[in-house]
Amino acid sequence: MDGDGLFRADGVTKVYPNGVRANDAISLHVALGEVYGLLGPNGAGKTTLVKQVIGLLKPTSGRITLGARDLVADPAGARQLCSYLPQAQVPIDSFRAREAIVLCGRVRGGGRAEVERRADELIEALDLGQWRDKRGIGLSGGVKRLVGFAMVTVCPGRLVILDEPTNDVDPLRRRLLWEQVRRLGDRGVAVLLVTHNVLEAEKAVDRLAVIDNGRLVAEGTPSAMKAHDRGYLRLQLMIAPGRGAPALPPFAHRSTLVGRNLMTVIARQDAAVGISWAEAAIAAGAAEEYALSATSLEDAYIELTGVNSSDDGADGDGDGGGYGGSSSDGGGPDDLEG
């Protein structure tokens, strides 16, 4: 690695005035061309970290650099080198979608013809054609999100930071968006992708870090993070309506309850007894069905953070802010340690 263009956070710590230690000695690096996922439950400290990268917040201690540039010492330079899609919606109410995208590219210094070509390419790739000349005020949250993505990537800096880019976006266009995220990496841009959706991120990232309580608790490629779970299987049980979760068998290593879906992780050699246990629960009317499968990145994530990431509801209730990450808390045998 030549180190040129490498994005690097070294021991970044942020303590807010109210005493909350939102980042605690976080170190990571992202190479040009790499898509790097920053995963973690609500309140983990992800947004705090990216706000320091683009100079919106000053670290309490630690260094943030891009190549030879010190982004903390030079916040204006940071904003020029980085493109940032904030977690909150971009305010484009009085602009038409294509107009807003083109304007952003021009403000960043792109030539008119190139910016217009790229704007049209993004509108096509994200399937936004029907809203091209509609004003922001009339757009749904998900469409605004996609327009925001196009605005920050029409003329991208060397580091593109996307904070929860798929919020409120419908499943079909989410897929289109992930393709464009991958495309950014292929174009030699470093991408820092913040999300709490592990399953989606797994397909888009080269490497990822899991942040919990302000600390980086794991880092690696998706397959390396899963390797930790080699030798284990996921046994899922759909609990019958109106019935409580059945007592966990002694061989369950850990479990999470999301709605009626009880997810347990068991050792491979316990597969047969696991199936017997699940079938007995069905025979007793306590459960409706079960599935036995390989563990996923999601299982590794649950073990690291104790939070299930996937229940944010692709159908979206449109609040754009809160997440269902803790909807399984309070009652129910979630997070039983084996």
The answer to the question of residue 16 lying near ligand ADP (CB under 6 A) is: yes
d(CA 215, CA 211): 5
d(CA 10, CA 214): 14
Contact 198, 39 (CB under 8 A): yes
Provide the β-strand partners of residue 255: 264, 336
Residue 214 Cβ vs ligand ADP, minimum distance, rounded to whole Å: 7
Q: CB under 5 to 8 A by kind: which of ligand ADP, Mg ion, none does 40 bind? A: ligand ADP
Query: 330: alpha, beta or left, given left = phi > 0 and alpha = psi -120 to 50?
Result: left
d(CA 325, CA 164): 14
Considering only residues 177 through 206, tell me which ones interact with ligand ADP, judged by CB under 6 A: none
Cβ closest to ligand ADP, residue 57 vs residue 176: 57
The answer to the question of residue 261 lying near ligand ADP (CB under 6 A) is: no
d(CA 57, CA 9): 14
Q: CB under 5 to 8 A by kind: which of Mg ion, ligand ADP, none does 48 bind? A: ligand ADP
The answer to the question of residue 209 lying near ligand ADP (CB under 6 A) is: no
Cβ closest to Mg ion, residue 87 vs residue 326: 87
Question: Could you give the 3-state DSSP secondary structure of residue 109?
Answer: coil
User: Per-residue contact track with ligand ADP, 31 to 60, x per CB under 6 A?
Assistant: ---------x-xxxxxxx------------
CA triple 288-293-294, angle to 5 deg:
155
Cβ closest to Mg ion, residue 43 vs residue 332: 43
Residue 40 Cβ vs ligand ADP, minimum distance, rounded to whole Å: 5
Among 47, 153, 167, 295, binds Mg ion (CB under 5 A): 47
Question: Could you give the 3-state DSSP secondary structure of residue 273?
Answer: helix
Maximum CA extent, the chain: 69
Span of 41-49, 96-104, 143-151, 214-222 interacting with Mg ion by CB under 5 A? 41-49
Contact 79, 54 (CB under 8 A): yes
Binding site for Mg ion (CB under 5 A): 46-47, 87
Binding site for ligand ADP (CB under 6 A): 16, 18, 20, 22, 40, 42-48
